[in-house]
């Protein structure tokens, strides 16, 4: 069976969507290509100028759909906007987040501290035993203020 470019991702979305349309494909592609976490409004600002058929409602619906299909991850930032990032699915993509509640900036980091990895592993073991829970993944988000938003700015003390 030949899969046209337009429906390239329809099989991934599968049961979650019977009508996988071109705008939906474009929204999904944007997330796949972007290294960033995008809100619906940001996606709209990028896509709408070249494709006026892509409205904000379509974007909200599509992001919701992709979220339910497990293809994107929802990241809540302190500024009340929900942002989305594509789940690349391979281990090398695993990262934790530092989220600025002042400006909504999200920093991905993969250079984990040894203490951090030890703690996560140990905690997962304990929780698995305590609750009989098979843990498959985790999301780690630290919320706070980035150097630009910290009172007193970059050179202010952290404590």
Q: How far is the CB of 146 from Zn ion (least distance, A)?
A: 3
Name the site residues for Zn ion (rule: CB under 5 A). Answer: 85, 100, 102-103, 105, 108, 146, 149
C-beta separation of 26 from 47 below 8 A: yes
Q: How far is the CB of 118 from Zn ion (least distance, A)?
A: 12
Q: How far is the CB of 30 from Zn ion (least distance, A)?
A: 15
Q: How far is the CB of 1 from Zn ion (least distance, A)?
A: 34
Tokens, residue 21: 């349309």
Q: Which of 16/105 has CB closer to Zn ion?
A: 105
Alpha helix locations (H) across the chain? 10-13, 22-33, 40-47, 56-68, 114-131
How many other CB atoms are there within 10 angstroms of residue 137's CB atom?
Answer: 8
Q: Which of 8/135 has CB closer to Zn ion?
A: 135
Q: What own/partner pairs with CB < 8 Å and gap ≥ 24 does 148-157 have?
A: 148/100, 148/102, 148/103, 149/100, 149/102, 149/103
Q: Which of 53/127 has CB closer to Zn ion?
A: 127
Q: Which of 46/106 has CB closer to Zn ion?
A: 106
């Amino acid at each position: 069976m030949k899969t046209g470019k337009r429906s390239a991702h329809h099989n991934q979305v599968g049961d979650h969507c019977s009508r996988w349309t071109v705008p939906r494909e474009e929204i999904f592609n944007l997330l796949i290509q972007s290294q960033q976490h995008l809100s619906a409004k940001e996606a709209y600002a990028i896509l709408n100028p070249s494709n006026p058929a892509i409205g904000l409602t379509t974007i909200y619906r599509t992001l919701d759909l992709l979220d339910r299909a497990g293809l994107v991850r929802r990241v809540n930032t302190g500024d009340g906007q929900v942002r989305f990032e594509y789940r690349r699915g391979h281990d090398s993509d695993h990262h934790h987040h530092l989220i600025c509640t002042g400006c909504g900036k999200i920093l991905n980091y993969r250079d984990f501290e040894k203490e951090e990895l030890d703690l996560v592993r140990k905690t997962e073991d304990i929780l698995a035993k305590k609750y009989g829970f098979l843990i498959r993944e985790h999301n780690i988000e630290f919320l706070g203020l980035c150097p630009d938003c910290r009172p007193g700015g970059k050179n202010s003390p952290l404590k």
